[in-house]
Each structure stands twice: as C-alpha cells, then as structure tokens.
C-alpha cells in the first residue's frame, strides 16, 4: 500500500504541473532506433516498448558508470552492492524480472554483443567510459528472433559517439568520497574521406566499510578498485561505403582484504571491423570482432598468529577468446522492408587454478551459428505489421578437466553437446491518432548453457565451491508477449504503458547440494557450500510498466516510471517446497523519478529518486536473507563558469539510506564528488 500511495502521489504531482506546461516550437527530429529491427526505424513504427537515453540526458546525470545510467530506465534492475569498488563482472543488470543474472538480457556496443560466451555476463560495467556514449537504446521483451541467445528480457545497445566534420571533444576530472578519482578525455573529427575517434579514462576508489558494527574486523581493509580504458577508431569513407576500424583496451585491478586477501586483474583487448556498402537497392553490412580476455587472481588467507595475509590459498588464470562475424542485407520494396542476416560466434576458455596441493584445470569451446529474417510491412497510414524468425545452432565441445589436488588424479573429457533453437516473433502497430499508438508483440527466447557452468569446478569466494554440470540444458522462453500504448498529447508530454507476460522452461539457477549429492572426489571445507547450476522447471513472469515524461517549460522537465512485476516459480520437481515462491532479486515494485532544471545562465540541477520494493535473496525465500525496500535520492548540480568550462557536484544517496542488495553487505552511504569538464 505504501508503494501504491507513493506512485499515485508522484503521478498526480506531475500531472498537476502539466497543466502549466508551456508550448514549445516543434523542431525535434523524429527519433529513430536501430536495435529493435537492426535497421533505422522511427520509434512510432515499433511494436515493442523502447527507451532512448541521449547524450544530453547522460551529461545531466553525471553518472560514473553505464549501469548507473541504465538504472534510471523502467523495467531495469541494477545490482552494484559495493558501489564503485564492485568489479565489472560482479555487477549485474537485469530486465523485466528475470532474476539476478545479466545473461538473460543481451547487451551490445555499436551492435556487437558484449555478453561473454564464457559465462554470459558482461565484464565492462566498471571500465566502459560514459563520456563517449552518443545514446543508449533499450528494447524490452523477447528479442531472440533477431539476436539469439540471452535476448530474453530485452536488448540494450550502447552506441558510441561518431566522428563528425566539426572537431569536438572533452576533458573531465572529478574526485571525492572514499578517495575516489575519475578522469576522462575524448576527441573526434572527420574530413571528407577520414574520421578519427579517440577516448581514454581512468578511475580509482578505495571503497568503504560494507559490514556493520563488529562484523567489520580491525584487520579488514576497504576494497580498492582501479580501472583504465582507452580506445581509438578510424572511419574511412569510400564513396557511398564506410569502413570502420576500432581497438579498445580495458584494465581493471581489484584488491580486497577481509578474511582473505584477493588481488585480481582483468584485461581486455578488443578489435572490431565494420563495413557498410549499398549495392543497388540493397544495403549490405558486415561486422567482425575479436575479444581477448584475461583474468588473473591470487588469494591468501589471513593468519591471526602473524597478523598478515601470508597463508597461500590459490591463484587462477582464465584466458578467454571470442570471435564473431555478422552479415546483414536490407532491402525496401513496395510496402516492405526486409532484413536477412547471419551471425557466427566462437568462444573458448582455458582455466587454471593452482593450490598448494596441486592444480585444477578445465577448458572448453562453444560455437554458435544462426540465420534470421525480419519483415516490416506498412499497410496504409495507420497499420504496421512485423514478423521474423531466427534459427540458431550451437555446439559445446573440447571440454576437459584435470585435478591433482587430491589423490588419485582425476582427468578426462566432457561429452560434446549440441542443440538448436527456432525463435519466431510477430508484432503490430496501430496508429489510433497522430498522438496515440497501440502496439503488441509476441516472441520466444532462449539462453545457451555456457562453458563456465558446463565444465568449470572451482572455488567461488572463500565459502563456496562451484561444481560443473555437463548435463545442463538450454534455458527456454517458449512464449512472451506484451501490449500497450504510447501517447504524445502535445509537444510537452509523453505517456507510455505496457503489460507483459513470459514463461521460462528449464530455468537455470544455482542449487546448493546436499552432502549426498557432492561427488566423492571433493571434500568441502568447514562451512563451505557446494553449488551447481541446474535446470529447475518453469518460472512465470508478468508485470506492468508505466511512464511519463513532461516538459513544464524551457527550464523545467521531469520523468517518472513505475514497474510492477511478479516472478514466481511454477514447477520444480526436485524441490516442490519452492513452487509458488518468488524468484530471487525480482522486486514487485520499482519507482524512478527525476526532476531537471536547466538554466544555462544559472545552473543545471537534477534530482533523481529510486524506490525499490523488498525482494528475496534466494529461491527458498529465506526470511533472514530477505532484502528490505529502500529509497535512494541523488542530486546533481552543474554550472558553466566559462565558455565550455563546467563545474559540477554530485551527491549520491543524499539521505544516507542504509540498504542492501546483497544480504550480508551494505550498499554505499552518502557520497560526494566535485569535478570539472571542459568541452570544445
């Protein structure tokens, strides 16, 4: 009831203000997105719910990370439970009540998939520069018909700034609480034949005490995290065709010291090539990439006798390589716009854990192949139909393991595993009036099991051991639909509403094994749990998203959105007691609100509120691990003191709310950052 009253008050407040909104000149260009159909399409012609976050929106937010930007959008839940000291691989972004895992939502950067073949997550949340983003497109709902594996909750496409004929760039520096410093720089420019894009950034923080009271021991140290990113891109204009060459470098160093000391390094070298050429009435495009990942980690236990972290625990090194190729052709004829394409992706990993007693190693590969077709049909001025289908085939192979940490030595090969998926979808748009659009869509989705869960057995922190499951099946979404409307009564007001429902089968979740289920070759340490990824049956998800954007006048604007979501376990043969329980990390109520005052002669002020309802930490719905509702208020203020020179202040968690996204640790308290940006 408290949540409902809050939402009602917020909507009423903004509606009251709209009565005083002043009319503006109609000059805004028609907004288009590429993610929903893989072609430039006006939002008003799309049968799905779409959110676009522009570079102007991002600049006013003064966000530190990309996931912080995404957290303002409806239907998205972000978990970064130790703030900026959380590593990128431990930050999760999920959409439409699909639980804690990033792998059920597909993330792209300039159309190239960021979800790793190795585990399905995204490693770049901490290292990716926010300053270099042109816009972010968020397409909600089943999208496997275009994008294949992981595109179940939706697709997020992060589009970087292009090189333009007018040379431009920026340099920024900020610092504040927890000894945090962030610096970014970018430059781009183009001639008639060539374009250049360069960007770099560095971030460092020493974290905070995330345990409360005496749980934070005297010998604990706050976590440290340091990231570096650099990128360079070249555009070569060859008549009507365009060749794009890109290189990115990401480095993340992390250090934790509590009951044990963990020293980690994650390094990425990414190479991308894109080519677009029109031939006759057909536009052809090709994208290829190679991602070279390398993770290293060394862990030592704390020795109370010496007061030092001098008890060796283990080290690991996990090199991972990914290759990809995307081919696409687009043609318009009559009332049709037809897109056909093929995606190919190869991934491999080789994990090596070293202990005092020996080594534990595993390796594996995954190959994915697909073809797809999508057609958009314009019928008159009011009706638009779309339909598409995609066929995916994948093979997990070359899986092997070696373990000599305990006699006798265990080694062998995992069986090759192949599977396939056919993913159709259909959508309809009816333009009731010039200001109102009705839309509906239906689709399916799937998630291929990754080598990490199929082949890896090893430590996961100090108190958990992950056990491989070579029998893991793909996660399926046999049906998903949504329906809603978008309204623009005048130039100052946008309204949107969507109802959605989905069902998952063979849902992947982590199961804590009983002693009888633990294989004889492994003996858990005292207090250690053994966890295995398993398919649990069915999960039902349904919900409502409602949102509003309003411009009161040329200075004041606001947005509010609310998501009501129910995610419940429908079937689980091995654990019938959890049937009808709520899915973990899926709050029923989430409200997000922002007020922006933009006066170049004075200052720009943004106030952002995020209200997240209570949720369960595990599928057993354990009361002691239940996460309470919380409300976080952020304030951002900036002023241009000279032409191109801006000073800004960000105050996050303004009310110093104590809240948790992980049941044992607290999220960051009040933080302040002061900075300057020069734009030219």
At 665, the pLDDT band (50, 70, 90 cuts) reads: very high
Taking only the tens place, the pLDDT of each residue in 390-409 is 999 999 999 999 999 888 89
Q: In the block, which residue shows the tokens 């044990």?
A: 260
- Residue 21, pLDDT > 60, answer no
% of the chain at pLDDT higher than 70? 95
Distance CA 530, CA 512 (A): 6
Distance CA 498, CA 503 (A): 17
Distance CA 405, CA 522 (A): 10
pLDDT at 29: 33
Taking only the tens place, the pLDDT of each residue in 148-188 is 999 999 999 999 999 998 999 999 999 999 999 999 999 99
- Residue 563, pLDDT > 60, answer yes
pLDDT at 22: 34
Give me the domains of the chain, ranges plus CATH numbers: 2-679 (2.40.170.20)
Among candidate residues 521, 437, 442, 528, the one with its CA nearest the CA of residue 485: 437
Distance CA 71, CA 92 (A): 11
Distance CA 568, CA 133 (A): 36
At 199, the pLDDT band (50, 70, 90 cuts) reads: very high
- Residues paired with 93 in a beta bridge: 78
Asked if 257 contacts 308 with a C-beta cutoff of 8 angstroms, the reply is no
- pTM, two decimals, is 0.92
Distance CA 454, CA 378 (A): 45
SS3 (DSSP) at 84: helix
Distance CA 650, CA 61 (A): 9
Provide the mean pLDDT of the chain.
92
% of the chain at pLDDT higher than 90? 82
| Mean pLDDT computed over 266-286 | 96
pLDDT at 459: 80
- Residues paired with 32 in a beta bridge: 42
User: Alpha helix locations (H) across 143-190?
Assistant: 144-147
Q: Following DSSP, what letter does each residue of 249-281 receive, concatenated?
A: EEEEEEEEESSEEEEEEEEEEEEEEEEEEEETT
Among candidate residues 470, 462, 456, the one with its CA nearest the CA of residue 403: 456
CA distances from 347 to 366, 369, 452 (A): 5, 12, 11
At 40, the pLDDT band (50, 70, 90 cuts) reads: confident
Q: In the block, which residue shows the tokens 């958009």?
A: 376
Token pair, residue 163, equals 């090189």
CA distances from 409 to 254, 357, 358, 398, 412 (A): 33, 11, 10, 20, 10
SS3 (DSSP) at 147: helix
pLDDT at 20: 36
Asked if 577 contacts 43 with a C-beta cutoff of 8 angstroms, the reply is no
Distance CA 505, CA 563 (A): 24
Angle (nearest 5°) at CA 287 between 283 and 292: 175
Cα of 593 vs its chain's centroid, Å = 20
Token pair, residue 333, equals 């004829």
Distance CA 634, CA 652 (A): 4
């Amino acid at each position: 009831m408290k949540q409902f009253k809050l939402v009602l008050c917020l909507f009423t407040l903004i509606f009251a203000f709209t009565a005083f909104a002043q009319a503006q000149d109609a000059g805004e260009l028609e907004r288009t997105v590429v993610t929903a159909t893989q072609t430039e399409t006006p939002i008003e012609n799309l049968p799905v719910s779409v959110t676009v976050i522009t570079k102007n929106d991002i600049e006013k937010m003064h966000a530190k990370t990309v996931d912080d930007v995404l957290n303002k959008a409806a239907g998205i839940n972000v978990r970064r439970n130790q703030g900026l000291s959380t590593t990128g691989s431990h930050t999760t972004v999920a959409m439409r009540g699909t639980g804690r895992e990033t792998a059920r939502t597909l993330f792209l950067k300039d159309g190239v998939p960021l979800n790793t073949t190795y585990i399905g997550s995204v490693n770049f949340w901490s290292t990716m520069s926010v300053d270099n983003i042109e816009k972010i497109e968020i397409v909600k709902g089943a999208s496997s018909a275009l994008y294949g594996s992981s595109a179940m909750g939706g697709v997020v496409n992060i589009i970087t700034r292009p090189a333009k004929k007018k040379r431009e760039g920026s340099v920024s520096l900020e610092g504040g609480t927890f000894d945090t410093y962030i610096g970014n720089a970018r430059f781009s420019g183009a001639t008639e034949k060539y374009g250049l894009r360069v960007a770099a950034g560095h971030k460092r923080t020493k974290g905070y005490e995330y345990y409360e009271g005496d749980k934070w021991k005297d010998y604990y140290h706050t976590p440290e995290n340091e990231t570096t990113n650099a990128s360079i891109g070249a555009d070569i204009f060859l008549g009507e065709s365009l060749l794009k060459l890109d290189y990115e470098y990401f480095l993340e160093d992390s250090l934790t010291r509590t009951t044990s000391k963990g020293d980690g390094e994650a390094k990425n070298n990414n190479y991308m090539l894109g080519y677009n050429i029109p031939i006759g009435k057909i536009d052809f495009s090709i994208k290829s990439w190679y991602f070279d990942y390398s993770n290293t980690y060394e862990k030592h236990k704390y020795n109370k006798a010496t007061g030092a972290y001098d008890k060796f625990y283990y080290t690991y090194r996990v090199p991972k390589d990914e290759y990809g190729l995307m081919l696409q052709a687009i043609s318009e004829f009559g009332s049709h716009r037809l897109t056909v394409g093929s995606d190919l992706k190869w991934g491999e990993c080789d994990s090596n854990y070293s202990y005092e007693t020996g080594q534990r190693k595993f390796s594996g590969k995954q190959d994915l192949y697909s073809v797809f077709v999508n057609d958009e049909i314009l019928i008159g001025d009011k009706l638009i139909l779309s339909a598409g289908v995609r066929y995916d085939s994948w093979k997990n192979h070359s899986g092997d393991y070696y373990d000599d940490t305990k006699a006798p030595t265990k080694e062998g090969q995992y069986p090759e595993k192949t599977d396939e998926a056919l993913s159709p979808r259909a959508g309809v748009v009816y333009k009731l009036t010039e200001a109102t659009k009705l839309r509906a869509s239906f689709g399916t989705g799937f998630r291929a099991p990754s080598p990490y869960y199929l082949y890896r057995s090893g430590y996961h922190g100090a108190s958990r051991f992950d056990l491989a499951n070579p029998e893991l099946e793909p996660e399926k979404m046999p049906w998903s639909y949504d329906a809603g409307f978008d309204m623009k009564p005048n130039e100052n007001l946008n309204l949107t509403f969507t109802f959605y429902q989905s069902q998952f089968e063979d849902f992947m979740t982590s199961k804590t094994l009983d002693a009888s289920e633990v294989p004889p070759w492994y003996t858990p340490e005292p207090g250690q749990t053994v966890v295995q990824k398993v398919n649990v049956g069915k999960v039902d998800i349904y919900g409502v998203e409602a949102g509003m954007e309003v411009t009161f006048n040329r200075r004041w604007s606001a947005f509010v959105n609310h998501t009501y979501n129910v995610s419940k376990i429908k079937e689980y043969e091995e654990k019938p007691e959890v049937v009808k329980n709520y899915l973990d990390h899926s709050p029923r109520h989430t409200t997000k609100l922002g007020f922006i005052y933009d006066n170049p002669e004075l200052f720009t002020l943004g106030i952002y509120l995020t209200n997240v309802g209570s949720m369960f930490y595990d599928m057993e719905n354990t009361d002691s691990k239940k996460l309470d509702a919380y409300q976080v208020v952020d304030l951002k203020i900036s002023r241009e003191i000279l032409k191109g020179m801006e000073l800004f202040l960000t105050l996050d968690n303004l009310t110093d709310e104590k809240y948790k996204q992980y049941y044992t640790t607290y999220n960051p308290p009040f933080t302040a950052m002061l900075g300057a940006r020069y734009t030219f």
